[in-house]
Structure 1
Amino acid sequence: MCYPKSATCQKAKKWLDEHNIEYTERHIVDANPTYDELKEWHGKSELPLKKFFNTSGLLYKEIQLKDKIPTMSEEEQLQLLATNGMLVKRPLVVNSNTVVVGFKEAEWNEKLNGHIE
């Protein structure tokens, strides 16, 4: 999942192309992740749910989520993420083995291991 105007997403796509990894691009705003997808991906990722939030995004800041997230249940956070793709950190890569949130080249080299399924 990506946002085409994001420089980070562009770097991630370039990395995937350079490593000859096939992928299906999904626009994070036009096809926002659903609650069920987010719940599954969160479980698969073994990451804290906060890692799924785009903490540098304008919407995150406008609605002051930094102060609200600590008091929200996991259920409430998942429901909120499912309302707007601009709240979701990207790029977000899902394959049969793992979920990777954000683009850190070393992590992608380790976790994606040459293919996306």
Structure 2
Amino acid sequence: MITLFGIPNCDTMKKARTWLDQQSIEYTFHNYRKDGLDKNWLKDRIDELGWEQVVNRRGTTWRKLPEDTRNNMNAETAVEALLEQSGMIKRPLLDTGNGYLLGFSADKWSEALK
């Protein structure tokens, strides 16, 4: 089963969900804020994809972090920060059943979901 991870009000998430619906692809939506995050699952995603990719460093939540926290971020501290502020996870994160895709790209998603 395909799972789409994110938050519902994000514009990119809306595009991703619309695209999946238009392609008639069934998926489960996991809302980070409502459904929560498992620490081990998050650690595995950071180990697989890299904290630099998983953490959205362009968002307001990142910019609101203390400068010292931003400057000293690593895989371990990223897990803790994302558990506290799930809105900082780059969106969307798609579990294809064969791996994870971070960010929305119709071309990449099309290829991965063939």
TM class, shorter-chain normalised? 0.7 to 0.9
Q: Which residue of 2 aligns with 1:74?
A: 75
Q: Which residue of 1 aligns with 2:44?
A: 40
Q: Secondary structure of 2:43's partner?
A: helix
1:103 aligns with 2:104: yes
Q: Which residue of 1 aligns with 2:6?
A: 2
Instruction: Identify which of 13, 25, 28 aligns with 1:24.
Output: 28
Structure 2: runs of 5+ lacking an equivalent: none
Instruction: Identify which of 48, 53, 56 aligns with 1:54.
Output: 56
Shift of 1:104: 1.5
Shift of 1:95: 3.3
* Between structures 1 and 2, the one with greater strand share: 2
CA contact (8 A) 1:52 1:88 kept: yes
Output one character per residue of 1:83-114: Cα deviation in whole Å (capped at 9) or x when no partner.
Answer: 22111111111133111111122221222x23
Output one character per residue of 1:28-73: Cα deviation in whole Å (capped at 9) or x when no partner.
Answer: 2222322211122234xx42221111222211111156x6445333
Structure 1: runs of 5+ lacking an equivalent: none
The Cα RMSD (Å) is 2.0
Matches of 2:41 and 2:58 in 1, distance apart? 22
CA contact (8 A) 1:93 1:101 kept: yes
Q: Secondary structure of 2:26's partner?
A: coil
CA contact (8 A) 1:39 1:78 kept: yes
Q: Identity rate of aligned residues, in percent?
A: 27
